[in-house]
Amino acid sequence: MKAATLRTFQIVHTWTGLIAGFALFVAFYAGALTVFHDDIATWQNPPWRSARDADIPISTLIERLVTEHPQTKDDFGIVLPSDASHAVYAYWLDNGDTRFATYSEMASPRDEANRGDLADFIYALHDSLGLPVVGLYLMGIVSVLYGLALISGLLIHLPRLVGDLFAMRVSHNLKRLWQDAHNAIGVVSLPFHIIFAVTGSILCLFTITLAALNTIAFDGKLYGAFASATSTAPTVSASHVSATMLAPAVLIERAKQAAVAGNVSNFNPDYLHYTLYGDRNAIVEVRGLSQHTLGTYGTVALSAVDGRVLTTHVGTTHTINGISNSAMYGLHFGSFGGRIVRWLYFMLGLAGAFLFYSGNLLWIESRRKRRHIHQPRRTYVMARATLGVCIGTCLGISGAFAATLATRYIDIDADLAQRVTCYTLFLGACIYAFMRPVPRAAIELLSATSVLTIAVACADLLGSANAWLSMPLPQSRVVLGVDVTGLALGLVFAALARAAARRARNGDPHSVWALTAQP
């Protein structure tokens, strides 16, 4: 590769990484936690603290829905709980606006699905940085830049890839150490990062891409073709003849039997979609998750009157369109495998966050003056921004966990507490990083994150110890696992704070991270 070409790729890699790096750090750290979405939901509402309406049967909820909101009979959905401690709730459209309600909320439905659910709040941070609508498209653009950074980074290091892959040269040259760690993690996890970049950009920009193609290439016919290609249930018309609906439990069981015929033995339904409820031609689509297959999401369409299977898109009966669409979700979130795959994705998420953090450190090290006490202002600005955004993200998410824990004992809105705590801590960390000397800000912010993360885990362990010891259910072990993982992360932050303090005292005195450094 010519030197000029190499420099071009280096510039592309550096600036795409810097522009997208902060958003990607948030996405990867929150995404690592989102892998255990259901576990966090169980931690918030453990089996000994069941959510309101958790014991309401599905059929009872449906009867109240169609009685109080008869206009929903033509089309509504039922979201099944992830475990016994959560409540089933209904979903429908009312004059174009979405409505959600559990049994007791039917008179005053919500306009948000899971208001106050910590797992969904963290997912929103991963998916759209917590910014409604615009955040999703922003992350789509960031994912495209992320892919460009991956390609340019690979081309830069391709000539010496084999020789430097596992070389970790620990010496006084700190830049070389960060470079080796950055390269090793980037190359080893490259296949997964390509998956994340491609699926992330498609998922975030899907609506815009569909609209653009519909106008430019498909003469306005793409929406109908897409709906037809991905739909499971056949299109039917109302017969205007009343009929008795089969019980939801029976329909779910028949959907599982149909999934077995498609070579899927672990089909776990999570959503029911009813069309023409109460009519002789009523149809119900049973959507569910199947592990150990890339076609993670599958759907079985049945007659709601007699349970007759109409169409099956599960396992080997998936269409190409269906399995392609489903595989994007499975590959992005690691839901195609069991716990081992989820733990792998968790570690890849944390490693990805480190990748962008170390990229910023490399930029700082590359631009500082080796033999001068006074360093360029831009290196200090980048160091402060990196500390504020990256450590502030970790501190803010730990704060959201603390706020959720506090709402168990204080009668306040969980959603408001999570948002206010998370965003306040994040903005506070950014301001703090720009007010304090860089090395002290690094030590103090890492220490605060460590203390808060460990405190939340210990408080929940102490508060729930008697309950999970007396109730040895699988969900009890899940709650324990979340707390133990929190303790482990807190100890990691403590180790990083100690390393930052050691470097501030004994490291290169001309570094921006040294206590003696001056802007």
Give the per-residue SS3 of 440-497: HHHHHHHHHHHHHHHHHHHHHHHHHHHHHHHCCCHHHHHHHHHHHHHHHHHHHHHHHH
Q: What pLDDT does residue 166 have?
A: 57
DSSP 225-239: HHHHHH--SPP----
Mark whether 451 and 314 lie in a shared domain: no
97 lies in some domain: no
Mark whether 491 and 384 lie in a shared domain: yes
Average pLDDT score over residue span 239-265: 88
Q: CA separation (Å) from 88 to 61, 137, 247, 268, 283?
A: 8, 30, 15, 15, 20
Q: What pLDDT does residue 171 have?
A: 55
- Whether the CB-CB separation of 417 and 404 falls below 8 Å is answered with yes
465 lies in some domain: yes
Amino acid at position 493, single letter: F
Cβ contacts of 22 within 8 Å, gap of 6 or more: 356, 385, 389, 390
439 lies in some domain: yes
Mark whether 272 and 374 lie in a shared domain: no
Q: What pLDDT does residue 435 have?
A: 93
Return the ∠ at Cα 478 (arms to 476 and 484), rounded to 5°. Answer: 105
Q: Which tens digits make up the pLDDT trace of 53-96? A: 778 899 999 999 999 999 999 999 999 987 777 889 999 998 87
Q: What pLDDT does residue 167 have?
A: 57
Burial class for 466, CB neighbours closer than 10 Å (0-12, 13-18, 19+) = exposed
Q: Which tens digits make up the pLDDT trace of 308-353? A: 999 888 877 777 877 787 888 888 888 887 888 999 999 999 998 9
516 lies in some domain: yes
45 lies in some domain: no
Mark whether 311 and 236 lie in a shared domain: yes
Q: What pLDDT does residue 519 have?
A: 56
Q: What pLDDT does residue 162 have?
A: 58
Q: Is the pLDDT of residue 31 over 80?
A: yes
Mark whether 386 and 505 lie in a shared domain: yes
11 lies in some domain: no
Q: Is the pLDDT of residue 434 over 70?
A: yes
Nearest to 255 by CA among 277, 229, 238, 233: 233
Q: Which of 333, 359, 384 is the last residue of a domain?
A: 333
Alpha-carbon span 442 to 500, nearest angstrom: 7
Mark whether 329 and 372 lie in a shared domain: no
Q: How confident is the model at residue 407 (pLDDT cuts 50, 70, 90)?
A: very high
The sign of the torsion formed by the CA atoms of 23, 152, 8, 387 equals positive
115 lies in some domain: no
Q: What pLDDT does residue 328 have?
A: 86
Question: Based on the structure, what is the number of domains in the chain?
Answer: 2
Q: Which tens digits make up the pLDDT trace of 361-375? A: 888 877 666 555 566
Mark whether 436 and 305 lie in a shared domain: no
Mark whether 379 and 515 lie in a shared domain: yes
Helix extents (H) in 98-158: 118-128, 134-157
Range of the domain at 300: 231-333
CB atoms under 10 Å from CB of 86, counted, come to 22
Mark whether 276 and 399 lie in a shared domain: no
404 versus 336: which is more confidently predicted?
Answer: 404
Q: Is the pLDDT of residue 294 over 60?
A: yes
Quote the distance between the C-alpha of residue 445 and its chain's center. 24
Q: Which of 317, 333, 349 is the last residue of a domain?
A: 333
Q: Domain with 279 in it: what CATH number?
A: 3.10.450
Q: Which of 333, 356, 385 is the last residue of a domain?
A: 333
Q: Which tens digits make up the pLDDT trace of 133-161? A: 899 999 999 999 988 888 887 777 776 66
Mark whether 375 and 505 lie in a shared domain: yes
What global pTM score does this model have? Answer: 0.89
Average pLDDT score over residue span 472-477: 76
Q: What pLDDT does residue 150 have?
A: 84
Cβ contacts of 392 within 8 Å, gap of 6 or more: 425, 426, 427, 428, 429, 430, 433, 445
Mark whether 492 and 385 lie in a shared domain: yes
Mark whether 320 and 379 lie in a shared domain: no
490 lies in some domain: yes
